[in-house]
Structure 1
Amino acid sequence: MSSKAKTQSKSPSTKKEVKVEEETICIIRIRGAHGMNRKIQHTLHLLNLYRVNSATLVRTTPSTRGMIQKVKDYIAYGPISSENLKKMLEKRGLLVGNKPITDNFIRINTVYKSVNDLADALHKGNIVLNEITGLKPVFRLHPPIGGYPGSIKKPVGAGGSLGKVGDKINLYLKKMI
């Protein structure tokens, strides 16, 4: 038997560590499941986006960035403002049993004192929706008043509404809350 010796490079590792800030982004599902690949549908389910016009909040980690890239043709996403996050929690946030979120529930089940404090913590990335027991991690929204600005079959760069919309996500949410 012949044994091969592994050769090692004499130069130090040239890999650069890129530190990316984790931010909280809002993802809205815009398109339905008709004709959708099962892998894409499974990824949407992992993001808790089972229905059209539902939204969720996620931190941008490498794994969530990969999932978002995979389903970018069915969603709109971007950084959410703290004002819209507070409105969304107050009006569209639900507990298990389809009950609205109350300050009393927040005081009992978290370290925060009110819905506004929870919204600030979510916006800063101190906590994730999935960490709060009894709180549904998805927001069911109305269809946008006046429709989406552009086609729901095209990405933003081509005059549509899909993909990374940036701060336009806040305009979408104002129309849908």
Structure 2
Amino acid sequence: MNLYAVILVRGRVNASRRIKDALDSLRLTRVNHCSLVDESGKGMLQVCKDYVTWGAIDAETLAKLIEKRGMLSGDKPVDAEVLKKGGFESTVEFANALLAGKAKLDAFGMKKIFRLHPPRGGYKKVKLAYPRGALGFRKDGINELIRSMM
């Protein structure tokens, strides 16, 4: 099962109702927010392709994302104790379970959104598609982008 990381690149101000509904379903309300979506959400990604970028996330990047930017309800950071309560020894083990479909983010109260910084060096262009710009499907390039935003 592929898990896609989706990042909102452009604001939603003048977007159509259909695009705003798709972004709401993806839980993307602010620029530089990241959400994890499985393959069944590809249709919504195509609807809002002019506002988001997405790609397949790998286990190493997902583990770092959970470690650095993962939050529990009440804005508490994710730590080793929380993962041990869920039966995982480390964030790498939890990330592998997420990618395999054996675990879910909301299993022990984790928020489904990761609030990221703007990328170091900035986006290339926010109105053009990848690789000339920042929008659309970027395969494995999403991992580099996420690492530059943590």
Distance 1:133 1:71 in 2: 30
Report the counterpart of residue 128 of structure 1 in structure 2. 104
1:138 aligns with 2:123: no
1:152 aligns with 2:126: yes
Instruction: Note the alpha carbon deviations across 1:111-140, whole angstroms, 9 max, x for none.
Output: 32332211111122322324x141100000
Work out whether residues 58 and 128 of structure 1, in 8 Å CA contact, stay in contact via their aligned partners in 2.
no
Report the counterpart of residue 86 of structure 1 in structure 2. 63
Alignment of 1:35-114 (within 5 A): 35-61=14-40, 64-108=41-85, 110-114=86-90
Any stretches of 5+ residues in structure 2 without a counterpart? none
User: Secondary structure of 2:36's match?
Assistant: strand
Which structure is higher in helix share? 2
Identity %: 38
Q: Which has the higher contact order (CA 8 A, sep 6+)?
A: 2
1:143 counterpart letter in structure 2: P
**TM-score under structure 1 length normalisation:** 0.80
Aligned pair count reads 150
Work out whether residues 54 and 136 of structure 2, in 8 Å CA contact, stay in contact via their aligned partners in 1.
yes
**TM-score under structure 2 length normalisation:** 0.93
Any stretches of 5+ residues in structure 1 without a counterpart? 1-21
Distance 1:121 1:151 in 2: 35
The structure that has the greater radius of gyration is 1
